[in-house]
Amino acid sequence: MTEKTPITLTVNGRNYTIAVEPRRTLADAIREDCGLTGTHIGCEHGVCGACTVLVDGEPVRSCLMFAAQADGKQIRTVEGLAKDGELHVMQQAFMDHHGLQCGFCTPGFLMLAVGVLEREPDISDEDLLDVLSSNLCRCTGYQNIVKAVRAAAKEMRGQ
Amino acid sequence: MKPAPFVRHVPKTLDEAVRILGEVAPQDGRVLAGGQSLVPIMAFRLAKPAHLVDINEVAGLDRIDNDGKMLAIGACVRHAAFHKPAVDNPLGRLLSVVARHIAHYPIRMRGTFCGSLAHADPSSEWCLTAATLDAVMVAKSARGERLIDAKDFFQGIMSTALAEDELLAQVRLPLLAPGAKFGFNEFSRRAGDFAMSAALVTWRMQDGKMREVRVGVGGAEPFPRRIAAAEAALEGQPPGDTAFRAAAEIAASAVDAMEDHQTSADYRRDLVRAVVQRALEMSAL
């Protein structure tokens, strides 16, 4: 059926029961159907990384996954990073190291970096640089993003 | 930039998947695995499949099996499954080195090994790996199962021997000899971008000489292949700069290099020379 079918997305621990067409991307469902517009959509073909979210702990391009494929899965978006009014270590590091200017790419970078560091806390600086090449930023020139993520990585490791 | 409407089928078993594929294939039905190439193509509306057979919920397709001779990779094994060596054999390290060159980390979380082969982009690292190591493809349909050798599988740019109702259920890669050497190198203009040329080499040392030499080149021609003349030039030679330079030169003249609006055939041939030599140098480290 190309008609809408009901699915349940669990985003940041909250259930959203929505009806989507099979062609609805996860990115569009998060923004339009769940109303969580922190996840940004840039290129819509998997190049820019602005729409990166965590699905069952894995950083993925939400524009390259259909919402129906995420039915019943645990999704985390930028809205779920801060807890009790306090920024996540990664968000604070981006502020402290001037890792953003316009902010459009920031949610994608945050979810990418948090997702990778939760999966691989001891990732080398070199591999982390390779990971950060996944996403595009047109403001910062990347240097401050790299600094921010390396600083947050140290803190997340408890150093 | 939104995909056209389609019907999504979600089989739970391989038999169900190929039965549905057999039914919908004549109506432009396609298999959806990782979706990291198919979904962008759909977003551009270059493909508007009426049906997608989503195999992500088929049990058992995410398995990697090792029978001591071959590594059998299921249709839903993601690129990221090879980040760490998947098998205690030089092949495990080879796949791990190659995997890091595939697109970017989040793409590797979703994209699949078999999907890359079925898609058959000329610059695909896994297609080069399959061609160089003489992989065996297991094609399954409601009509039955057949094995296809890598040399017969790739037929052109994004074109393979798979029939429209066949699903690439598994790819089998032969394990390498203990102590086998390998080298890989690719050139692309941006990190994570499509390779404009790539080379994979394997050999083993016997009495100071290279034996069972394989030299594969991808990204330069419509599909990757072994370069027999370059292999012959290396076979029985001691590893070293003289042999490597000669083989790289032979590989460069053996390819019928593709041209595009940014790249001449001569430039691509130069890249082949460079990537083959660098892969050989890496293999000798």
Domain end point (choices A79, A102, A131): A79
Handedness of CA B140, A71, B99, B273 (dihedral sign): positive
The answer on B145 and B69 residing in a single domain is yes
Domains in chain A: how many in total? Answer: 2
Is the CB of B1 less than 8 angstroms away from the CB of A45?
A: yes
B232-244 pLDDT, tens digit per residue, is: 999 999 999 999 9
Is the CB of A65 less than 8 angstroms away from the CB of B109?
A: no
Q: How far is B1 from chain A (nearest CA, A)?
A: 7
Of A22, A44, A130, the CB nearest to B7: A22
Residue-number span of the structural domain to which B274 is assigned: 181-283
Q: What is the mean pLDDT of residues A2-14?
A: 95
Residue B2 resides in a domain: no
Q: Does any CB of chain B come closer than 8 Å to the CB of residue A6?
A: no
Residue A29 resides in a domain: yes
The answer on A63 and A20 residing in a single domain is yes
Residue B1 resides in a domain: no
A41-63 pLDDT, tens digit per residue, is: 999 999 999 999 999 999 999 99
CATH number of the domain at B277, please: 3.30.390.50
Residue B198 resides in a domain: yes
How far is C-alpha B166 from the chain's CA centre?
A: 18
The answer on A107 and A59 residing in a single domain is no
The answer on B268 and B231 residing in a single domain is yes
Residue-number span of the structural domain to which A51 is assigned: 5-79
The answer on B253 and B223 residing in a single domain is yes
d(CA B264, CA B217): 17
Residue B59 resides in a domain: no
Domain end point (choices A79, A108, A128): A79
Domains in chain B: how many in total? Answer: 3
The answer on B214 and B143 residing in a single domain is no
Residue B72 resides in a domain: yes
Q: What is the mean pLDDT of residues B181-198?
A: 93
Is the CB of A134 less than 8 angstroms away from the CB of B106?
A: yes
Residue B131 resides in a domain: yes
The answer on A64 and A25 residing in a single domain is yes
d(CA A70, CA A80): 17
CATH number of the domain at A117, please: 1.10.150.120
CATH number of the domain at A28, please: 3.10.20.30
The answer on B131 and B96 residing in a single domain is yes
d(CA B47, CA A132): 30
Is the CB of B191 less than 8 angstroms away from the CB of A44?
A: no
A75-106 pLDDT, tens digit per residue, is: 999 999 999 999 999 999 999 999 999 999 99
Structure tokens at B71: 């590594």
Q: Does any CB of chain A come closer than 8 Å to the CB of residue B5?
A: yes
B245: left (phi over 0), alpha (psi -120 to 50) or beta: alpha
Of A46, A69, A116, the CB nearest to B107: A46
Contact at 8 Å (CB) between A57 and A74?
A: yes
The answer on B250 and B151 residing in a single domain is no
Domain end point (choices A14, A48, A79): A79
The answer on A150 and A104 residing in a single domain is yes
Residue B101 has a pLDDT of: 96
Contact at 8 Å (CB) between B146 and B139?
A: yes
Q: What is the mean pLDDT of residues B252-264?
A: 93
Is the CB of A25 less than 8 angstroms away from the CB of B6?
A: no
Residue B159 has a pLDDT of: 97
Q: Is the pLDDT of residue B61 over 90?
A: yes
Q: What is the mean pLDDT of residues B39-47?
A: 97
The answer on B201 and B161 residing in a single domain is no
The answer on A75 and A37 residing in a single domain is yes
Residue A1 has a pLDDT of: 56
CATH number of the domain at B48, please: 3.30.43.10
Contact at 8 Å (CB) between B255 and B217?
A: yes
Residue A84 resides in a domain: no
Is the CB of B104 less than 8 angstroms away from the CB of A133?
A: yes
Contact at 8 Å (CB) between A68 and B8?
A: yes
The answer on A129 and A66 residing in a single domain is no
The answer on B96 and B29 residing in a single domain is no
Residue A38 resides in a domain: yes
Residue A101 resides in a domain: yes
B90, amino acid identity = P
* Alpha helix segments (H runs only) across B31-89: 38-43
**pTM of the predicted model over 0.90:** yes
The answer on B277 and B202 residing in a single domain is yes
